[in-house]
Structure 1
Amino acid sequence: VRDLITRAPITIAQGATITEAARTMKEHGASSLLVMDGEALAGIVTDRDLRNRVLAVGLGADRPVQEVMTAGPVVGDADALAFEVLLEMVGRNIHHLPILEHDRPIGVVTTTDLMRMVQASPVYVVGDIQKQSDVEGVATVSARLPAVVEALVGQDASADDIGRVVTAIGDAVERRLITLAEAELGGPPVPYTWVALGSRARLEQALAADQDNAIIISDEATDADLAWFEELARRVSAGLVECGYPTCPGDVMATNPRWRLRLQDWRQEFATWLTQPVPDAILQASIFFDMRPVHGDSGLFPELHHGILARAPQSRLFLAHLAKAATLNEPPLGFFRGFVLAKEGEHADTLDIKRGGIGAVVELARVHALALGSPAVNTVARLQAAIAGGIMSEEKGADLTDAFEFISYVRLRHQAAQVREGRPVDNHVNPDQLSSFDKRHLREAFAIVRSAQSAMASRYPTTFM
């Protein structure tokens, strides 16, 4: 409960008049006032008390406030759970609760404070998104996402759990926007599947995420049908921008006709990547191997995915290119294990915790999963598949999994702090703002990633490339 208290209690002596109490409440913009007997809490008076016990009965405003206060009010403990306090207030039908610490008031919580906390619940947010009838409404609800992340970090939820929650909210936003667009356009002319790519496909989305999506269209589609999907993509993408998901700098979105294809064309695209790999093309294409269906026909994605998984383990040249790209994305750690920081620009003296930390593990896990033909898309699930498949030892796999969790959590904690301070959210962490414990463990985590990259370079030699 102490986490909900935003200011010290507004108090008045019990000998003060009702006029003085009303004036004090007005000056502080408070809806309640604690009435004190010295340092002890004697009672509470609320704006409802002034209305019902003073104005409604014509009581003189020069009377002592103690005549209209609630004496010996119900109180809450500073270390009680907010959920417990909410149940207490609902059960007693009270709207203001003084919070005590060592028998002295430290603040007041209201049902509004507690309901605001409930509204930051992921379930509540997703439920609200599904109720919206227009894009503006979806955008209003999705704006609560940063508060959800801040709350989860404050509750010490794991980075894996937070990533899944952020992903679920992102999915809900996208599905609602698609449904609204379909209602305006009329039903789709042929079956299709809208797919998420990248971090949201892996259930690992954080704040500051942009759009990564595509559309798989039934082979039955005519050229005329494709115009419907073009308009669908345009409307959904514009809606996502309004909801806080900027367009992808690399244009990996369904609005790009290259990523809005019939099933047979998608098969050909993946076949080219797997059998005729070109290094630059593989770098751009790697995100498409992190794909998950979000909306639409349930049969199109499995048809495409099963074919990719069957062919990938035999595509040695493709895996070698993908492995080489994964080893080039080095952690920001110097030879003597000092952090390598950006030297100039707006992010000078910070380290990019996503690129060489989180991103490096994602790329390593992706290569191993594709080499095994594993259907796993989530990074932790891919690492578990690598352990089960004998590619990594259980010890090395556990170390890399823990490193990934810790690096991801440092990023989320950094983003939560930016939310609290009202600053733009990013992935650039200033080591000076980390504790010595965090810096030590972050160095260790980066070293584990570097070791895993070295092992990958040995497993997928590039001498024949």
Structure 2
Amino acid sequence: MPKAFDAANPPFDRLTPHEMETLRAALDIVYFRPGEPVIDQGSPSQALFVVIKGTIEESDGAGLLALLGPKDSFDSRALVHGKSGHAFRARDETLCYSVPRSTVLDLIQNNPRFASFFYHDIARKLDEFVRDHDEQRHGSMMRARISELFLHPAAFVEADDSVETAGRKMEEINSNALFVRDGQRTGIITGMNLSKAVVLRRQSIQTSVRNLAHFDLVTLRPDDFVSSALVLMTKLNKRRVVIRDDERFVGILEDIDVLGYLAGSAQVIAGRIERAANQDDLAAAARQIAAQVRTLRRQGIGVELIGEIVSDLNQRLFSRLFDLLAPADIRAVGCLMVMGSEGRGEQTARTDQDNGLILSRAIEQAELDKFRTAFSGALLDFGFPPCPGHVMVNNPAWSKPLPDYIADIRRWLALPDDSAHLNVAILFDARCVAGDATLLTEVKTRLIEMVGGEQAFLAHFARAIDLFATPIGLFKNLITSAGNGDAIDLKKGGLFPIVHGVRSLALEHGLIETATDKRINRLRDMGVLHAEFARELHQAFNFMLMLRLDGQLAESAGATGTLVRPSSLSSMERDLLRDAFYVVKKFREFIRHHFNLGAF
């Protein structure tokens, strides 16, 4: 039976084959009756347990923390710290693998990566997992097929064709290389070959390309790995590789395209946005931004950096669209702003439009209405769905002069209902992407001034952290079910409480930062958050963002893109998700105490 132990189940996947055999030799299988204690809170543990079948309840003095199912392990902390911080009890008939403490400690002593699972705190475990996860993604990128990369077209000239003919052909197809047919053989000629012949050797442009072409072709197939192309180019000092499928020439792969694939092409998209002459050009760039997210994630780029890259590209897109559509009067007196996750710089996969316009003075109504309709309509054409709450430029409530926004803030604070709290949150997260940024600065300055000292408003504002429960004890029924209701909403249960709790503290302290991670850092520097807890909060937030993005890219997260099925996660991911939710739970308690929410 121990031979069936899953060696790929983290953290055991960090063991060498010899270490795994040592572990298997020491394994035992134990049975627990329903309700039987496995480890008491405050007691030492003489073994590491891995659930085979059944359910284990994990609890503290306050109640249930988690339900552990097959492949989940416990209690790693008790093994190295001497006693367990939680109690573990069988909920139903349960079978577990049991690994003696002495065996685990020997493996820990000899394998630092295995040891890190037991010694690292929550923040370090989350950070190490994300780093390993990203390294694996980078490896998968190198295993991508050549057919996934951009290939220059397989265009031909005859060996008797002139340099001039070849040059015009290259210009026509926007390529720097052509195939040359010469009887039974095929060669290649490049723009550099043509330039050297005419400029350096003073040859006529009517010279045939036969003597300029190279016939020692280096070839690969479309289904070969990208890594093979990179190795071949490096080994043979070649800048180009010919891609052919049997006798058919498919195209030409250049080193710049391989490197561009490895490095990402965000800078290329940015250039296309800047050069866009019309909406069609911008629509093409918008599609590339959406595709770029998948490329960046596959390359192992972290979710934070992806958010920054996407936010920068979207800002360029919105700014260029503003330049193309807004008449001179609006450009001169307007501030185009984005809100929500876009405003915080946490946008990855494309979601609803969240934008608005601040004007320093009134604009002729017909002109303003025309722009409102055109701008929101263009974004819809680009693939940005309308906002369900209608927080969009084409809504006059979010597209008006600065004094009207100031009046709104006064009304929201005077009549602080749920709608007022939502509007304050939206405006506080806003970021200028085009036009006069001082207008938004003025609005936020006035908002912070008016909220200052309004503890009752801030407390009611912060109460939204309890809109959704943190699903820390819901894992068993989710990991054993494959139905439609087996998913956890990461946004409601984890991301929103962190975003809104941090936003509430930032508003109280008048911070100008909009990104959640930057707000956490400022709150840490101010002493509002303890440094270690700020680090845990930051890592938990990024881990859940990573899970959400991966789910969105896999198109398996449901319509909202915020759902994750614990049954689809590895035991390590489930363990870390429990840790992340535990951090959220502690943060909720901190916010409740900080704003004295029990009094409201």
Q: TM-score range by the shorter chain?
A: 0.7 to 0.9
C-alpha distance in 1 between matches for 2:354 and 2:182: 56
1:304 aligns with 2:443: yes
Q: CA offset at residue 370 of structure 1?
A: 0.7
Q: CA offset at residue 94 of structure 1?
A: 2.8
8 Å CA contact retained: 2:311, 2:342 = yes
What's the counterpart of residue 585 of structure 2? 450
Q: How does 1:316-465 map to 2 (within 5 A)?
A: 316-334=455-473, 338=476, 348-418=485-555, 426-462=561-597, 465=600
C-alpha distance in 1 between matches for 2:477 and 2:275: 47
Q: CA offset at residue 431 of structure 1?
A: 2.1
8 Å CA contact retained: 1:350, 1:431 = yes
Change (3 A) 1:399 1:272: same
SS in structure 1 of the partner of residue 181 of structure 2:
helix
8 Å CA contact retained: 2:146, 2:226 = no
What's the counterpart of residue 199 of structure 2? none
CA offsets 1:168-201 (integer angstroms, 9 cap, x no match)? 121122112111112xx45428611111111111
8 Å CA contact retained: 1:120, 1:147 = no
CA offsets 1:253-286 (integer angstroms, 9 cap, x no match)? 1211111121111112122223441234313542
8 Å CA contact retained: 2:217, 2:242 = no
Q: CA offset at residue 7 of structure 1?
A: 6.9
Q: CA offset at residue 401 of structure 1?
A: 0.6
Change (3 A) 1:6 1:426: farther
Letter of the structure 2 residue corresponding to residue 372 of structure 1: H
Change (3 A) 1:297 1:214: same
8 Å CA contact retained: 1:217, 1:263 = yes
The gaps in structure 2 that reach 5 residues or longer are 1-140, 156-176, 188-212, 245-249
Change (3 A) 1:321 1:170: same
For this pair of structures, how many residues does the alignment match? 401
Letter of the structure 1 residue corresponding to residue 279 of structure 2: V
1:289 aligns with 2:424: no
What's the counterpart of residue 110 of structure 1? 253
What's the counterpart of residue 335 of structure 2? 193
Structure 1 residues 156-165 or 398-407, which shifts more? 156-165
SS in structure 2 of the partner of residue 412 of structure 1:
helix
What's the counterpart of residue 370 of structure 2? 231
Normalising by structure 1, what TM-score?
Answer: 0.75
C-alpha distance in 1 between matches for 2:446 and 2:477: 42
Q: Out of 181, 203, 209, which is 1:51 matched to?
A: 181
What's the counterpart of residue 203 of structure 1? 345
8 Å CA contact retained: 1:215, 1:259 = yes
Change (3 A) 1:344 1:432: closer
SS in structure 2 of the partner of residue 261 of structure 1:
strand
Q: How does 1:125-136 map to 2 (within 5 A)?
A: 125-136=269-280
What's the counterpart of residue 166 of structure 1? 310
Normalising by structure 2, what TM-score?
Answer: 0.59
C-alpha distance in 2 between matches for 1:403 and 1:442: 8
Letter of the structure 2 residue corresponding to residue 433 of structure 1: S
SS in structure 2 of the partner of residue 314 of structure 1:
coil
Q: CA offset at residue 329 of structure 1?
A: 2.9
Change (3 A) 1:233 1:272: same
8 Å CA contact retained: 1:275, 1:315 = no
C-alpha distance in 2 between matches for 1:125 and 1:186: 26
Change (3 A) 1:49 1:232: closer
Q: CA offset at residue 230 of structure 1?
A: 2.5
1:96 aligns with 2:96: no
Change (3 A) 1:330 1:287: farther
Q: How does 1:70-81 map to 2 (within 5 A)?
A: 73=218, 80=227
C-alpha distance in 1 between matches for 2:524 and 2:477: 29
SS in structure 2 of the partner of residue 201 of structure 1:
helix
SS in structure 1 of the partner of residue 335 of structure 2:
strand
8 Å CA contact retained: 2:344, 2:514 = yes
Q: CA offset at residue 159 of structure 1?
A: 1.3
The gaps in structure 1 that reach 5 residues or longer are 9-28, 32-46, 58-67, 99-106
Letter of the structure 2 residue corresponding to residue 394 of structure 1: A
SS in structure 1 of the partner of residue 486 of structure 2:
coil
Q: CA offset at residue 408 of structure 1?
A: 0.6
C-alpha distance in 1 between matches for 2:506 and 2:259: 43
Q: Out of 280, 293, 296, which is 1:152 matched to?
A: 296
What's the counterpart of residue 35 of structure 1? none
8 Å CA contact retained: 1:166, 1:206 = yes
Change (3 A) 1:338 1:461: farther
C-alpha distance in 2 between matches for 1:158 and 1:231: 40
C-alpha distance in 2 between matches for 1:271 and 1:84: 64
Letter of the structure 2 residue corresponding to residue 126 of structure 1: A
Letter of the structure 1 residue corresponding to residue 575 of structure 2: R
Letter of the structure 1 residue corresponding to residue 184 of structure 2: V
C-alpha distance in 1 between matches for 2:475 and 2:295: 33
Calculate percent identity across the aligned residue pairs: 25
What's the counterpart of residue 169 of structure 2? none
8 Å CA contact retained: 2:334, 2:435 = yes
C-alpha distance in 1 between matches for 2:281 and 2:320: 10
Change (3 A) 1:50 1:444: same
Letter of the structure 2 residue corresponding to residue 4 of structure 1: A
What's the counterpart of residue 200 of structure 2? none
Letter of the structure 1 residue corresponding to residue 306 of structure 2: I
Letter of the structure 1 residue corresponding to residue 407 of structure 2: Q
Change (3 A) 1:255 1:267: same
Letter of the structure 1 residue corresponding to residue 568 of structure 2: Q
8 Å CA contact retained: 2:488, 2:565 = yes
Q: How does 1:35-46 map to 2 (within 5 A)?
A: none
8 Å CA contact retained: 2:344, 2:515 = yes
RMSD: 3.9
C-alpha distance in 1 between matches for 2:499 and 2:580: 14
8 Å CA contact retained: 1:138, 1:173 = yes
CA offsets 1:150-173 (integer angstroms, 9 cap, x no match)? 222122222111111111121122
8 Å CA contact retained: 2:478, 2:565 = no
CA offsets 1:399-420 (integer angstroms, 9 cap, x no match)? 11110011111112222333xx
C-alpha distance in 1 between matches for 2:271 and 2:541: 31
What's the counterpart of residue 381 of structure 2? 242
What's the counterpart of residue 103 of structure 1? none
C-alpha distance in 1 between matches for 2:383 and 2:440: 27
Change (3 A) 1:110 1:424: farther
